[in-house]
Chain A
């Protein structure tokens, strides 16, 4: 048996590498599939109730939706910075970036709770109409992902604070970061689809 030349496989690994744990990527694909199905079902249901959807969509607060988009994108940027800092060998300095990312996630949650409170106050529920059923269930499904993402960011913050991450140990922080970016990615379609597209 002749072993493969080590240099070739090593350079290939450096050239193309899946960040984080392979398992998280299968999980992300499953999540993307689930959200994708929901989005397409929403879009085709809308096609059969265009007037209802257009009228009720105007009752949504697009500014809240836009603020939440900005919060998620900014949070994603902070996570990228945390990963970069950890990769440069400064695990503890990644912690403040992760704390800032967590704060943006918390901001998203607060804005969303105000949005839900306003709708519930107006007597809107899952059974109010087909549009509100989709609006509440889709945004709440995403909301739960934000909550889980914040738990993951908190764990990453704790890891960074204790100096766990570095150029030779990036798996944990990259895995959590990939999940958080997925939460952001999904919102980038949800916002125009439900709040804006008429």
Chain B
């Protein structure tokens, strides 16, 4: 029989409660950072790069830890992270195109 909620008897794919809570705190902090940028109406290439980097970092935590793809066959985290990287890069490229226009 199990005696503790935080100690499953078999190897977990979903990390520990503490890890999940720390990741949640990091995600909330990153969200506050994005909100602050928005409230200050900050703009420009450096700000856009910062916003996309924050989005990519948050997405990486969701993909690897919350979706538990860290322990999935390598193809799956690579596809999901590749999607994030591609979309964030394309948004950056479009922003740069808007600057040049």
Binding site for B on A (CB under 8 A): 14-19, 25, 29, 32-33, 36, 39-40, 43-44, 46-48, 50, 54, 58, 62-63, 65-66, 69-70, 73-74, 76-77, 79-81, 83-85, 87-90, 93, 167, 174, 177-178, 181-182, 184-185, 188-189, 191-193, 195-198
On chain B, the residues within 8 Å of A29 by CB distance are 79, 83
In the complex, how many angstroms separate the beta carbon of B81 from the nearest chain A beta carbon?
11
- The answer, yes or no, to whether B78 is at the interface (CB within 8 Å) is no
- B53-81 residues with Cβ-Cβ distance < 8 A to A are 54-55, 58-59, 62-63, 65-69, 71-74, 76, 79-80
Partner of A192, one of B10, B34, B43, B71: B34
Asked if B90 contacts A40 (CB within 8 A), the reply is yes
Partner of A47, one of B58, B62, B95: B95
On chain B, the residues within 8 Å of A189 by CB distance are 55, 59, 84, 87-88, 91
The 3 closest A-B pairs by CB, nearest first: A43-B94, A47-B98, A66-B35
Please, how many angstroms separate the alpha-carbon atoms of A178 and B27 in the complex? 18
For this complex, 7 residue pairs linking A to B, each with C-beta atoms less than 8 Å apart, are A17-B71, A36-B87, A40-B91, A43-B91, A65-B35, A66-B34, A76-B62
Partner of B80, one of A32, A50, A85, A167: A32
Partner of B27, one of A40, A62, A73: A73
Asked if A77 contacts B24 (CB within 8 A), the reply is yes
Binding site for A on B (CB under 8 A): 2, 4-17, 20-21, 23-24, 27-28, 31-32, 34-35, 37-39, 41-43, 47-48, 51-52, 54-55, 58-59, 62-63, 65-69, 71-74, 76, 79-80, 83-84, 86-88, 90-91, 93-95, 97-98, 101
On chain B, the residues within 8 Å of A25 by CB distance are 76
Please, how many angstroms separate the alpha-carbon atoms of A72 and B9 in the complex? 30
Asked if B101 contacts A48 (CB within 8 A), the reply is yes
In the complex, how many angstroms separate the beta carbon of B30 from the nearest chain A beta carbon?
9
On chain A, the residues within 8 Å of B67 by CB distance are 19, 177-178, 181-182, 185
Asked if B76 contacts A93 (CB within 8 A), the reply is no
On chain B, the residues within 8 Å of A81 by CB distance are 17, 20
Please, how many angstroms separate the alpha-carbon atoms of A93 and B80 in the complex? 31
